[in-house]
Amino acid sequence: MRFSRIKAKLRKGDAALVTCCHFIDPSVYELVSLLGFDGIWLDLEHHATSDETAATLMRAARVGTSDIVARPAKGEFMRMGRLLEAGAQAIMYPRCESAEEAAEVVRWAKFAPQGERGIDTGNGDCPYCMVPPVPYLKAANEHTLLIVQLESPKAIDAVDEIAKVPGVDVLMIGPGDFSILAGIPFQFDHPLIADARRRVAEAAKNAGKWWGTVSGTPEHTKGLLEQGARFICHGCDLIFVKQGMEQIQEKYASLGFTFDNRVPAMVADMERSG
């Protein structure tokens, strides 16, 4: 198995920067990994990516240095094992709301005695029955990174207990879902979100854990680093492509080119229906 680049940096006290890839062309993963990002967030919670496709994307990323941070859906404990066997260096578990749920994440992601993960050495992680299984068990437990996402007021209320769960490495606040569930949708400057970050930072510090979140700008990231965050997620291939297309339209509109953009009509329909 390839040890987690992110976990190694965190252990040294360095910050890690992860970016998200939604497109399922292996070339994208190959490119990002060759560029040397610390990790690629592979989202299987909100997207219809199959385990087979995910394994192919992980294989493409091995040409470079990036970790694969795989996010299954809430409660997909068996799927976590398949993602780890395919070669993911990290699991990002969404919507964790209690210490008991966090302990389940550890149980399914770690081999005994830390957990109860099942063994199969015939996949990309071991890899392919080519290394002794006993050293592999120890290395997998030591170097796999486990991130639990706190995405609701209930989760923030339980953050101190979640932080104390052995095997959990990173506490990650998810501001998007948190803002909706807290009744302040997408008001990311709201005091409730600032307070949630503060509580996560304090719980992580008290438990000797790392914490992090998503960040939209270097300026915002600077503030997070000053609060002690070390796991930073920024950017998305889909957004970068969208922005690039919009820049082309803006530049060429001045030459008289027109575009049949359907988005304004969609937005208008949504506003009328609301």
CA dihedral 1, 62, 128, 91 (to 10 degrees): 50
Task: Give how far the C-alpha of residue 1 lies from the chain's centroid of Cα atoms, to the nearest Å.
Answer: 20
> What's residue 109's pLDDT?
98
Give residue 236's pLDDT band: very low, low, confident or very high (50, 70, 90). very high
Q: What percent of the chain has pLDDT over 90?
A: 97
With 0-12 / 13-18 / 19 or more C-beta atoms within 10 angstroms meaning exposed / middle / buried, residue 45 is middle
Distant-in-sequence contacts of 202-206, Cβ < 8 A, 24+ apart: 203/159, 203/160, 203/162, 203/163, 203/171, 204/163, 204/171, 204/228, 206/160, 206/163
- Sequence ranges of the domains in the chain: 5-273
Q: What's the pLDDT tens digit per position in 91-120?
A: 999 999 999 999 999 999 999 999 999 999
The answer to whether the beta carbons of residues 105 and 93 sit under 8 Å apart is: yes
Distances in Å between the alpha carbon of 232 and those of 35, 181, 221, 240? 17, 22, 7, 18
Determine the topology of domain 5-273 in CATH.
Answer: TIM Barrel (3.20.20)
For 21, the enclosing helix (H) or strand (E) is strand 16-21
Mean pLDDT of the chain: 97
Amino acid letter, residue 14: D
274, pLDDT greater than 90: no
pLDDT level of residue 163 (50, 70, 90 thresholds): very high
Q: What's the pLDDT tens digit per position in 33-82?
A: 999 999 999 999 999 999 999 999 999 999 999 999 999 999 999 999 99
Average pLDDT of the segment spanning 261-271: 91
12 pLDDT higher than 80: yes
Taking residue 184's Cβ as centre, other Cβ atoms within 10 Å add up to 15
Q: Do the beta carbons of residue 218 and residue 201 sit within 8 Å?
A: no
Measured at the CA of 36, the angle between CA 58 and CA 25, to 5 degrees, comes to: 40
* The predicted structure's pLDDT at residue 1: 86
